[in-house]
């Protein structure tokens, strides 16, 4: 009997080596889910901030479950949450029942996944949303941050909310800390609020004007290059004048040579026998006395 149990255990390890490795080598230090309803789309913008524990060996394959009908927007990785980037990130997605599994090759400890969840419900002025979380890994600290849309009121949640104050974007935030969440445990929580309009929060955000001065990085000051520009313009004008003068001289010389050639062609070596006036080409009578011009061939 013991031999059969040992045989079955070895078979399981051989058949599912990657699963055993993933569960044993991957640990999540913290997960923070930010929910931004009706921010830049009439859906729920969900932002997952995941921080792996220091004992997790990188790179590692990380599977993150989101709603099956989620519209994936961004997958970014970095050493810290403030240095994540979506450049060169390798990931794939597949449907698994009610979930969309995002498999990410984590090369850094910080992972940020953004997607839109179209399951935000609207019933006249009432908005409601239900969120589910299921992790394949133990989470040491799980938290949720809610962003209250502009023009919204009576914001409530099934989680205990703490007033997180008004942030730099002038929007009201609430937070809730759940704590430890074991692998395989599903967390479900609801939220709702009243909103009379369909305007998006991003349309109300104030855009701060950009101040550009001499010290702004990347700015090119014309004062530093103005003398060179004036000098270059002067050289161009001088060269242009010389070329124009030279071209004008060539044109005048050509006209003069053409006039001399035409004059030579008009004159001949035949003279009038009566008055001695030199005849021109084609003359048959003298232009002075009217006598008939005797051609040399006559």
pLDDT value of residue 11: 47
**pLDDT digit string (tens) for 132-186?**
999 999 999 999 999 999 999 999 999 999 999 999 999 999 999 999 999 999 9
Calculate the average pLDDT of the chain.
83
pLDDT value of residue 266: 54
| CA 134/CA 127 separation, integer angstroms | 24
Report residue 53's pLDDT band, with 50, 70 and 90 as the boundaries: very high
The tokens for 40 are 């830049």
pLDDT value of residue 16: 42
pLDDT value of residue 85: 96
**pLDDT digit string (tens) for 91-120?**
999 999 999 999 999 999 999 999 999 999
Q: Treating both helix axes as pointing N-terminal to C-terminal, what angle do 17-25 and 2-15 enclose, rounded to 10 degrees?
A: 80
pLDDT value of residue 230: 85
> How large a percentage of the chain has pLDDT more than 70?
76
Q: Which SS3 state, helix, strand or coil, does residue 239 take?
A: helix
| CA 104/CA 77 separation, integer angstroms | 9
Map out the domains of the chain with their CATH numbers.
26-204 (2.60.40.1730), 223-280 (no CATH)
- Strand (E) or helix (H) holding 188: strand 186-195
Q: Which SS3 state, helix, strand or coil, does residue 265 take?
A: helix
pLDDT value of residue 297: 46
pLDDT value of residue 120: 97
């Amino acid at each position: 009997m013991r031999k059969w149990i040992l045989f079955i255990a070895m078979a399981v390890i051989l058949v599912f080596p990657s699963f055993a490795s993933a569960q044993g080598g991957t640990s999540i230090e913290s997960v923070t889910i930010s929910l931004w309803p009706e921010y830049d789309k009439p859906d729920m913008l969900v932002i997952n901030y995941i921080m792996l524990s220091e004992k997790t060996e990188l790179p590692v394959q990380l599977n993150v479950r989101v709603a099956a009908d989620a519209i994936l927007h961004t997958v970014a990785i970095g050493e810290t949450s403030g240095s994540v980037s979506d450049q060169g990130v390798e990931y794939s997605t597949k449907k698994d029942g009610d979930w969309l599994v995002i498999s990410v090759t984590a090369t850094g400890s910080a992972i940020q996944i953004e997607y839109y969840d179209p399951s935000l419900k609207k019933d006249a002025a009432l908005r409601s949303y239900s969120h589910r979380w299921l992790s394949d890994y133990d989470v040491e600290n799980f938290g949720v941050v809610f962003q209250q849309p502009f023009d919204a009121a009576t914001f409530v949640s099934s989680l205990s909310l703490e007033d997180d104050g008004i942030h730099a974007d002038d929007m009201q935030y609430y937070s809730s800390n759940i704590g430890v969440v074991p692998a395989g445990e599903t967390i479900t929580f609801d939220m709702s609020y009243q909103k009379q309009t369909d305007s998006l929060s991003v349309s109300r955000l104030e855009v701060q004007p950009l101040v550009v001065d001499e010290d702004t990085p990347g700015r090119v000051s014309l004062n530093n290059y103005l003398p060179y520009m004036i000098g270059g313009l002067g050289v161009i004008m001088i060269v242009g004048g010389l070329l124009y003068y030279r071209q004008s001289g060539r044109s005048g010389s050509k006209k003069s040579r053409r006039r001399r050639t035409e004059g030579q062609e008009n004159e001949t070596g035949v003279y009038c026998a009566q008055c001695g006036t030199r005849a021109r080409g084609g003359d048959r009578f003298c232009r002075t006395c009217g006598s008939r011009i005797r051609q040399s061939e006559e």
